[in-house]
Structure 1
Amino acid sequence: MNSSDKILTLPHLQDLLQTWRSQGQQIVFTNGCFDILHLGHVDYLEKARQLGDKMVLGLNTDASICRIKGPSRPLQDEMSRARVMASLLFIDAVVLFDENTPLKLIEAIQPDILVKGDDYTIENIVGHEIVMARGGAVKTVPLVKGYSTTNIVNKIEDQVKSTKG
């Protein structure tokens, strides 16, 4: 299987989810921008995947990232980000979403386990009500401190400024 085979439209993902569920697989869902993949992302996603059998990643489109983070983001286009994320062995499917939050996607997927980093509380995780209402679990996993795309971008910008000065 090529990594690009794991990048799915929602209808294709729903067919795959039906197959996984018929096999008794527990579906884990998380989401994010994942603009520059770093250790914090890898650690978080690996821990999230260990909570169930299959991991579905909702990935913000370029347009939604631009609305959320401003006109200078994303740094990488959505298909590049999707392909990088799909290449990770603990990601079973990647699906893009264009809204500011993954609420509609969570409603459509109905994951068994919804996961975010421990910088969220359960009550602040978008879609927690949907998952919990059908008996699913909402969990947070510890984040590796000091790793973020913003920190990496700031470090690069600082180094560029210091070489020009």
Structure 2
Amino acid sequence: MVNKKLIERNNLDSVLNKYREENKKIVFTNGCFDILHRGHVEYLQKARELGDLLILGLNSDDSVKRLKGNDRPINNEIDRAIVLSALECINYISIFDEDTPLELIKIVRPNILVKGGDYKIENVVGREYSKETVLIDFVDGYSTTNIIKKINS
């Protein structure tokens, strides 16, 4: 399946150059987004509202496994990317294999770097490559871990 929103890292800079030339405000965020839920959707919508386009760095399967454990991800990276690409608020998705999105952030050079409210600004990876870093609070009661626990109980 061809997905116009899924962009390989080595093509990302050339895709984003036209937006930079038009002085569009580029927003970047990242995550695993293993089982998409309301909290994810509201977070992504709020991130998109901060600028003209939203670039999502999506952790690869190997990256998720290293961060979350051997029983994750539940959904593979292509399935997660396809589901996320259905959201209007996301313009482009790029999958990364590292534990952090630093190398991807260096390429994107976002105007605004967005992370969840569980972070502290000084701990946000790549903040030195963006003009601004914004923390967005999570929607209470929604998490992939809680969904998995509920399914297993």
For structure 2, the 5+ residue unaligned runs are: none
Q: Distance in 1 between matches of 2:79 and 2:52?
A: 26
> Aligned ranges for residues 15-164 of structure 1 at < 5 Å?
15-131=14-130, 136-158=131-153
Paired residue secondary structure (1:58) = strand
Amino acid at match of 2:91: D
Amino acid at match of 1:154: K
| Contact persistence 1:3–1:83 (CA under 8 A) | no
Aligned structure 1 segments of 4 or more residues deviating by more than 4 angstroms: none
Q: Distance in 2 between matches of 1:3 and 1:106?
A: 24
| Contact persistence 1:3–1:86 (CA under 8 A) | no
Q: Distance in 2 between matches of 1:90 and 1:78?
A: 19
Post-superposition shift, 1:117?
1.1
Q: Distance in 2 between matches of 1:37 and 1:111?
A: 24
Among all aligned residue pairs of Structure 1 and Structure 2, give the percentage whose two residues are the same amino acid.
Answer: 50
**Is the alpha carbon distance of 1:3 and 1:149 closer, same or farther for their aligned partners in structure 2, counting shifts above 3 Å?**
farther
Amino acid at match of 2:140: K
TM-score (norm 1): 0.90
Paired residue secondary structure (1:4) = coil
**Is the alpha carbon distance of 1:65 and 1:7 closer, same or farther for their aligned partners in structure 2, counting shifts above 3 Å?**
same
Q: Distance in 2 between matches of 1:70 and 1:118?
A: 23
Post-superposition shift, 1:4?
1.3
Q: How many residues align?
A: 153
Q: Distance in 1 between matches of 2:23 and 2:10?
A: 20
Post-superposition shift, 1:75?
0.2
| Contact persistence 2:110–2:129 (CA under 8 A) | no
| Contact persistence 2:39–2:143 (CA under 8 A) | yes
Q: Distance in 1 between matches of 2:64 and 2:9?
A: 19
RMSD after superposition:
1.2
Amino acid at match of 1:157: N
Amino acid at match of 1:155: K
Q: Distance in 1 between matches of 2:22 and 2:2?
A: 23
Paired residue secondary structure (1:89) = coil
**Is the alpha carbon distance of 1:68 and 1:51 closer, same or farther for their aligned partners in structure 2, counting shifts above 3 Å?**
same
Q: Distance in 2 between matches of 1:37 and 1:145?
A: 15
